[in-house]
């Protein structure tokens, strides 16, 4: 239903505007577009008219025409000058609105962590997810950080884009005006899987958003560690490089790796145990498996202890080299039922919480 | 002396050279006579072979990547593999790097500039012929590094080498930056040579404002080449130092600042955009005058607009970085200066149109390219107005809108002016005419194919399609399909031009000295010119005073009437 509505409002040139700054942007876009069309028709029209009117009659032609006129030169310099100054001021004011978050936006601050090739969003309460959920009609402030190379946060429907630069915090903001799901792209080339660094912004009513945040709160307490590991596998983008089926990707597959003895680039070797997995997540360049490039960013400061435990249990559960017990039961805590539901709240492009399914 | 003058009065330069006499091509024989030549025309020819080979390579990359994108549009396509992504990333990088550093930048100055600049000055050669040969060897050395990159794991950074990705990828960044570094010297040496030549070797009677506008454009280009290229060289050296010695300059992990790289890079690469387009604009001024067969309108405004573009071009680099996090004040200043560059560009367009007014417009192939240039450059320029506006650029930055914009300017405009110039000076360079029908068909395919390929990308970009994506969401499929089909039409048109040129070399009819009736000095010598360019000193008048050239059916060319030229010159002095 929403998808159909969105389709209807899409213009030939622009996607539907779904944020408060879209109207200003789109107005200027239409202005420059029509100005361009008029100039193009004028220039091409004059050109074609002259070609027809002054077509060479004979190779003996020796035409004489005017060669200079300072008055004409200054005269035709003026209209473009005035037009570009109007466009400059209009574009600058639009930009200041895009750039300057309104008061109160920081109450809804989300930390956007970009890494090769994954988006991770951390909400004010410390919850995180691989899709960005926001309440509708509320200014959202974004703090952008990268743990490896430059990425760029880009949501066309909101007319918002900001580079995510390692070693500094860039900030931007938006206020969504319609409930729905919108594409979120990485716009700055960041290497091999740049084109798959695409996720969704899910705009929800305040009640749905609150319920979503509550569910995220419960996940760590209630989810069985193996399930928590599977969720982390998606949320932190592990799946971009590590397969679960034994096929080597940009990094080694996770199948059968736990308990195996890995050989490293420097010739040393080590058995994969809990500490090795923990090291690989927090300090990935330390023991680089032979045959692979050092491309993995660190997840220090992003991933929680429970989630590391979850990843370890996930590795155990898919390894033929491990025959010990696996923590696949939910911790004994209230809200078991909710915990089972929350298993859906995983990252990746097609993530659905119960709430978003309801809206559709 | 007076006897020769009398002859000239009657027959122009027609009797200067008979058939079977030597010219610069058959002047001496053997491979070493080419590899060690100091003749600017031979160096221009060697550049032509090398640069067109690079164009073929970079162009084939484009066809390959457009084909890959087309294949991703099938409705039931399997998820993209990392191997496919690697291939795509390398293709767009090599496409950009080869075509920017090895084709667009050198094409007009190194091929046509080398060939024509000394001839236009009535000079025997450029000021420093040995330096000129060295610049060709620099080009070949740089090209060798790029060949090495191809064979040694490729390059996947994009032609922009943005840090810290470029300092962390395992592909051959060091070899590629070394290649670009050496190619930069080729560019600097050519620029230096042209500046010295224009200052020192103008003939008696040719003041600055009697110079053909192509030379003004090459002069402005040379200033940029000499002043901006060293910054690229320094930047690439710093990048290499960081990669090899781990000195922290750009990589935040080593304490550097990645945005600093962007400042350095665009401080060269934005002026470089004008290195690419200004010589093309110079060609268009020549084509407009000759094929409208009248004085250029607003000569001094066109000449000074070239210089204005060259200087203002140094002050706009920050408009590539509106989204990088630089301050709002910085963005505003760069936006304002960016808009100011639009004015001299608009002035050029208006003056070319005014030149057509009351002219005698021939639609010979070079003129068709000039008209295509006006269409393409107008679109390229107007879409630049979108990107100069801050709020619009935030949305369009790093999308296909930008891709389409710079292809309209750097490829559409620059390529049509280059091919137009090649056709224009082809009879002069080789002494052969080409098949006009084939040339016009090829022109149409290129013009139609180019617009089909790139206009749709403005829409894709406005809809939010990011650039440098090996894969895309299904809603963008239709744009990619149309664009790919257009690129095939464009490629067929370009191959037809190649066929047209080869056929002309093999079996083209002999060209007259002056097939178009132009009056710049290269038309005052035989086609192709002799080794020393001019048997006798050419007669210098107003560059676009063409009324002293009379059409002669028997040779399908124009013959000079010196007495009339002297008379016309006297009139213009009053």
Instruction: Give ipTM to 2 decimals.
Output: 0.91
Using one digit for the tens of pLDDT, what is the confidence trace for B115-150?
999 999 999 999 999 999 999 999 999 999 999 998
Say yes or no to pLDDT of B10 above 80.
no
Contact B463 A14 (CB under 8 A): yes
A337 in any annotated domain: no
Q: Dihedral of CA B182/B187/B191/B194: which sign?
A: positive
Average confidence (pLDDT) over B529-546: 93
The label of the residue with tokens 């192939």 reads B365
At residue B7, the pLDDT reads 39
Domain identity same for A25 and A93: yes
- Inform me whether the pLDDT recorded for B482 exceeds 70: yes
- Helix pair angle (B477-507, B414-430), 10° resolution: 10
B chain contacts of residue A78, beta-carbon cutoff 8 Å:
none
pLDDT for res A248: 84
A36/A127 same-domain check:
no
Share the mean pLDDT of chain A.
86
Q: Are strands A198-204 and A132-135 parallel, antiparallel or unpaired?
A: parallel
Residue A65 has pLDDT above 50, yes or no: yes
Mean pLDDT (chain B) is: 92
A348 in a structural domain: no
pLDDT in tens, A173-217: 999 999 999 999 999 999 999 999 999 999 999 999 999 999 998
Contact A46 B359 (CB under 8 A): no
Whether the bond into B164 is cis, omega within 30 of 0: yes
Q: What is the pLDDT of residue A9?
A: 65
Considering chain B, what percentage of its residues have pLDDT values greater than 70? Answer: 96
Among B389, B458, B557, B559, most A C-beta atoms within 10 A, so best to mutate, is B389
Sequence-distant (≥ 6) Cβ neighbours of residue A47 within 8 angstroms: B353, B356, B371, B374, B375
Specify if B15 maps to a domain: no
Which residues in A lie closer than 8 A to residue B209 (C-beta atoms)?
A: none
Which of the four pLDDT bands, split at 50, 70 and 90, describes residue B363? very high
Within 8 A by CB and 6+ apart from B418, the residues are B107, B108, B112, B280, B283
∠B420-B424-B429 over CA atoms, to 5°?
125
Are B344 and A96 a contacting pair, CB within 8 Å? no
Indicate the pLDDT class of residue B13, thresholds 50, 70 and 90. low
Judge whether A115 lies within some domain.
Answer: yes
Q: How far is B533 from chain A (nearest CA, A)?
A: 27
pLDDT score at A332: 59
Looking at A202, A218, A234, the residue that finishes a domain is A218
Distance from CA of A329 to the nearest CA of B (A): 33
What tens digit of pLDDT does each residue of B208-236 get? Answer: 999 999 999 999 999 999 999 999 999 99
pLDDT at B21: 73
Helix (H) or strand (E) holding A151: strand A151-155
Comparing alpha-carbon positions, the chain A residue that sits nearest to B88 is: A192
CB nearest to A188's CB, from B385, B394, B398: B398
- Regarding whether A228 and A274 lie in a shared domain, the answer is yes
CATH number of the domain within which B452 lies: 1.20.210.10
Same domain, residue pair A208 and A116:
yes
Q: Is residue B17 part of a domain?
A: no
**Structural domain range at position A147:** 105-218
Residue B20: per-residue pLDDT: 56
Q: At residue A7, does pLDDT exceed 90? A: no
Residue B217: CA atoms inside 13 Å, Cβ hemisphere, count?
Answer: 28
Task: Find the CATH number of the domain harbouring A319.
Answer: 1.10.760.10
Dump pLDDT digits (tens) for B56-97. Answer: 999 999 999 999 999 999 888 999 998 999 999 999 999 999
pLDDT at B455 > cutoff 80: yes
Q: Give phi and psi for B110, each to the nearest 5.
A: -75, -35
Q: How many angstroms separate the CA of residue A267 from the nearest CA in chain B?
A: 20
Q: d(Cα B424, Cα B369) in Å, to the nearest integer?
A: 10
CATH code, A157: 2.60.40.420
The whole-angstrom separation of Cα B477 and Cα B391 is 27
- Percent of chain B beyond pLDDT 90? 85
- Complete DSSP assignment for A71-82: HHHHHHHHHHHH
Which CATH number goes with the domain that contains A69? 1.10.287.90
Three-point CA angle B382, B384, B385, nearest 5°: 70
Which residues of chain B lie closer than 8 angstroms to A43, CB-CB? 349, 353, 374, 378
Contact: A192, B89; criterion CB under 8 Å: yes
Judged by CB atoms closer than 8 Å, whether chains meet at B258 and A166 is answered as: yes
Which chain B residue has its CA at the smallest distance from A167's CA?
B252
| A322 CB-near residues (< 8 Å, 6+ apart) | A258, A259, A315, A316
A161 contact residues in B (CB cutoff 8 A): 323, 394-395, 397-398
Q: Is residue B24, in this structure, part of any structural domain at all?
A: no
pLDDT band, very low/low/confident/very high, at A322 (cuts 50, 70, 90): confident
Same domain, A196 and A248: no
Residue B20: which region, alpha, beta or left (left: phi > 0; alpha: psi -120 to 50)? left
Which residues make Cβ contacts (< 8 Å) with residue B194, sequence separation at least 6? Answer: B109, B113, B117, B126, B218, B219, B221, B222
Quick check: is B333 in a domain?
Answer: yes
Q: Extract the tokens encoding B62.
A: 């484009």
Would you call A12 and B547 a contact, using CB atoms and an 8 Å cutoff?
no
CA distance A181 to chain B (A): 14
Which of A12, A15, A68 lies nearest to residue B297, judging by beta carbons? A68
Q: What is the pLDDT of residues A232-256, one digit of tens each?
A: 898 888 888 898 888 888 889 999 9
Residues of chain A with Cβ-Cβ distance to B158 below 8 Å are 189
The per-residue pLDDT for range A88-134, each reduced to its tens digit, is 999 999 999 999 888 888 888 999 999 999 999 999 888 889 999 99
Integer Rg of chain B from CA = 24
In a shared domain, residues A239 and A268: yes
Residue A358 lies in a domain: no
Do A23 and A123 fall within a single domain?
A: no
**Residue A348 pLDDT greater than 60, yes or no:** no
Contacts of B390 in chain A (CB under 8 A): 91-92, 94-95
Query: A192 and A125 in one domain?
Result: yes
| Residue A206 lies inside a defined structural domain of this protein | yes
| Contact call for B395 and A92, based on CB within 8 A | no
**pLDDT reading at A222 higher than 90:** no
Number of domains in chain B: 1
In this structure, what token pair is assigned to residue A109? Answer: 């601050």
| pLDDT band at A341; cut points 50, 70, 90 | very low
Using 50, 70 and 90 to split pLDDT, how confident is the model at B243? Answer: confident
Is A338 among the domain residues?
A: no
Q: Do B294 and A63 touch (CB under 8 A)?
A: yes
A-chain CB neighbours of B389 within 8 Å are 28, 32, 87-88, 90-91, 94
Cβ A186–B466 below 8 Å, yes or no? yes
Of A200-209, B24-33, B194-203, give the lowest mean pLDDT range.
Answer: B24-33
pLDDT of B424 strictly over 50: yes
Is B372 within 8 Å of B447 (Cβ atoms)?
yes
Q: Which residue has the higher pLDDT, A113 or A349?
A: A113
Beta bridge partners of B510: B432
Task: For residue B280, give its domain range.
Answer: 43-573
Work out the average pLDDT over B499-523: 96
A164 assigned to some structural domain = yes
A193: chain B residues, CB-CB within 8 Å? 82, 85
Identify the closest residue of chain A to B360 by CA–CA distance.
Answer: A56
Would you state the pLDDT for residue A330? 72
Closest-approach residue (CA) in chain B for A349: B473
Contact B357 A157 (CB under 8 A): no
| Alpha-carbon span A300 to A122, nearest angstrom | 14
How many structural domains compose chain A?
Answer: 3
Q: Does B17 or A230 have the greater pLDDT score?
A: A230
For residue A328, how many other CB atoms are within 10 A of its CB? Answer: 14
Which comes out higher in pLDDT, residue B525 or A287? B525
Whether the per-residue pLDDT at B558 is higher than 60: the answer is yes
Residue B574: the pLDDT is 66
Query: Among A310, A265, A257, A258, which Cα is nearest to A285's?
Result: A265
List beta partners, residue A118. A115
Q: Give me the pLDDT at residue A198, please.
A: 96
Q: In a 10 Å sphere around its CB, with 0-12 CB exposed, 13-18 middle and 19+ buried, how is residue B505 labelled?
A: exposed
DSSP letter for A360, please: -
Rounded mean pLDDT of B508-523? 95
Residues A8, A56 share a domain: yes
In a domain, A340, yes or no: no
Among B299, B331, B340, the residue with its CB nearest the CB of A68 is: B299
Q: Is there a domain that residue B26 lies in?
A: no
Interface contact B162-A24, CB threshold 8 A: no
Give residue A157's pLDDT.
96
Q: Measured between alpha carbons, how far is A312 from A257 in angstroms, rounded to an integer?
A: 11
- The predicted-structure confidence for B304-355, as pLDDT tens digits, reads as follows 999 999 999 999 999 999 999 899 999 999 999 999 999 999 999 999 999 9
Q: How far is CA B427 from CA A45, B207, B512, B560, in A?
A: 32, 28, 8, 17
Contacts of B292 in chain A (CB under 8 A): 54, 63
Binned at pLDDT 50, 70 and 90, residue A3 comes out as very low
* Phi, psi torsion values for B87, nearest 5 degrees: -60, -45
> What confidence score (pLDDT) does residue A301 get?
78
Q: Crossing angle for the helix pair B258-292 and B365-388, nearest 10 degrees?
A: 150
Mutate to test the interface with A, among B81, B326, B395 (most CBs of A within 10 A): B395
Q: List the Cα angle B44/B422/B180 in 5-degree steps.
A: 50
Q: How many beta-carbon pairs below 8 A join chains A and B?
A: 287
Is residue A298 very low, low, confident or very high in pLDDT (cuts 50, 70, 90)?
confident
């Amino acid at each position: 239903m929403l998808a159909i509505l969105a389709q209807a409002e899409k213009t030939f040139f622009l996607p539907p505007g779904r944020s408060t700054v879209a109207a200003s942007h789109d107005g200027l876009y239409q202005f420059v577009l029509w100005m361009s069309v008029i100039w193009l028709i004028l220039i091409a029209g004059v050109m074609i008219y002259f070609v027809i009117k002054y077509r060479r009659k004979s190779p003996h032609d020796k035409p004489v025409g005017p060669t200079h006129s300072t008055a004409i030169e200054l005269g035709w310099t003026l209209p473009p000058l005035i037009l570009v100054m109007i466009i400059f001021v209009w574009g600058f004011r639009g930009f200041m609105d895009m750039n300057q978050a309104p008061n109160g936006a920081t109450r809804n601050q989300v930390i956007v962590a970009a890494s090769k090739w994954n988006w991770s969003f951390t909400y004010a309460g410390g919850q995180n997810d691989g899709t960005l959920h926001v309440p509708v009609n509320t200014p959202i402030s974004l703090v952008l950080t990268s743990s490896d190379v430059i990425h760029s946060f880009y949501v066309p429907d909101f007319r918002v884009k900001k580079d995510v630069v390692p070693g500094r915090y860039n900030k931007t903001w938006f206020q969504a005006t319609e409930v729905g799901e919108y594409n979120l792209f990485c716009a700055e080339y960041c290497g091999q899987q740049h084109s798959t660094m695409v996720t969704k912004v899910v705009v929800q009513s305040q009640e749905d958003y609150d319920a979503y945040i509550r569910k995220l709160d419960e996940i760590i307490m209630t989810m069985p560690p193996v399930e928590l590991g599977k969720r982390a596998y998606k949320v932190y983008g592990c799946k971009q490089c590590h397969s679960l089926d034994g096929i080597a990707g940009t990094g080694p597959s996770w199948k059968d790796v736990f308990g195996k003895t890995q050989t490293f680039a420097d010739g040393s070797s080590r058995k994969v145990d809990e500490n090795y997995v923990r090291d690989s997540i927090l300090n990935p360049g330390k023991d680089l498996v032979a045959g692979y490039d050092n491309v993995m960013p660190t997840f220090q400061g992003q991933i929680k202890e429970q989630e590391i435990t979850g990843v370890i249990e996930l590795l155990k559960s898919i390894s033929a080299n491990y025959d010990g017990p696996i923590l696949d039961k939910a911790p004994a805590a209230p809200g078991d039922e909710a915990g089972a539901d929350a298993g859906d709240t995983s990252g990746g492009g097609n993530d659905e919480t119960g709430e978003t399914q309801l809206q559709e | 002396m007076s006897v020769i003058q009398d002859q000239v009065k009657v027959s122009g330069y027609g009797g200067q050279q008979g058939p079977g006499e030597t010219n610069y091509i058959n002047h001496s024989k053997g491979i070493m006579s080419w590899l060690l030549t100091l003749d600017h025309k031979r160096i221009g020819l060697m550049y032509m072979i090398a640069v067109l080979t690079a164009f073929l390579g970079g162009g084939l990359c484009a066809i390959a990547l457009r084909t890959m994108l087309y294949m991703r549009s099938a409705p039931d396509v399997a998820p993209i593999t990392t191997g496919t992504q690697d291939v795509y990333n390398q293709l767009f990088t090599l496409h950009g790097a080869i075509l920017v550093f090895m084709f667009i930048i050198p094409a007009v100055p190194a091929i046509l500039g080398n060939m024509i600049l000394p001839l236009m000055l009535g000079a025997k050669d450029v000021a420093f012929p040995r330096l000129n040969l060295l610049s060709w060897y620099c080009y070949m050395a740089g090209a060798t590094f790029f060949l090495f990159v191809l064979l040694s794991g490729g390059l996947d950074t994009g032609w922009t080498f943005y840090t810290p990705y470029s300092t962390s990828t395992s592909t051959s960044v060091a070899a590629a930056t070394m290649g670009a570094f050496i190619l930069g010297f080729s560019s600097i040496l050519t620029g230096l040579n042209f500046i010295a030549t224009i200052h020192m070797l103008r003939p008696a009677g040719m003041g600055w404002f009697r110079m053909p506008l192509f030379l003004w454009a090459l002069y402005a280009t040379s200033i940029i080449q000499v002043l901006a290229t060293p910054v690229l060289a320094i930047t690439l050296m710093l990048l290499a130092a960081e990669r090899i010695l781990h000195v922290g300059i750009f990589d935040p992990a080593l304490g550097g600042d990645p945005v600093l790289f962007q400042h350095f890079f665009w401080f060269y690469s934005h002026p470089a955009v004008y290195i690419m387009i200004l010589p093309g604009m110079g060609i268009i001024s020549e084509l407009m005058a000759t094929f409208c067969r009248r004085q250029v309108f607003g000569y001094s405004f066109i000449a000074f607009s070239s210089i204005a573009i060259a200087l203002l071009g140094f002050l706009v680099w920050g408009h590539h970085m509106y989204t990088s996090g630089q301050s709002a004040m910085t963005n505003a200043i760069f936006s304002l200066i960016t808009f100011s560059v639009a004015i001299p560009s608009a002035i050029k367009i208006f003056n070319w149109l005014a030149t057509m007014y009351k002219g005698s417009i021939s639609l010979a192939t070079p003129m068709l390219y000039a008209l295509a240039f006006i269409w393409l450059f107008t679109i390229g320029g107007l879409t630049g107005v979108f990107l100069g506006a801050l709020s619009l650029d935030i949305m369009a930055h790093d999308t296909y809108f930008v891709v389409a914009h710079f292809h309209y300017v750097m490829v559409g405009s620059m390529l049509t002016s280059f091919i137009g110039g090649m056709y224009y000076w082809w009879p002069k360079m080789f002494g052969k005419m080409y098949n006009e029908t084939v040339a016009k068909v090829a022109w149409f395919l290129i013009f139609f194919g180019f617009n089909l390929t790139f206009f749709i990308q403005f829409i894709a970009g406005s809809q939010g399609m990011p650039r440098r994506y090996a894969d895309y969401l299904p809603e963008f499929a239709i744009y990619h399909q149309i664009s790919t089909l257009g690129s095939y039409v464009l490629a067929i048109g370009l191959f037809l031009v190649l066929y047209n040129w080869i056929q002309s070399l093999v079996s083209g009819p002999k060209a007259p000295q002056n097939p178009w009736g132009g009056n710049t000095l290269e038309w005052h010598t035989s086609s192709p010119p002799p080794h020393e360019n001019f048997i006798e000193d050419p007669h210098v008048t107003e560059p676009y005073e063409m009324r002293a050239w009379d059409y002669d059916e028997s040779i399908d060319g124009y013959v000079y009437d010196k007495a009339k030229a002297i008379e016309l010159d006297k009139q213009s002095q009053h």
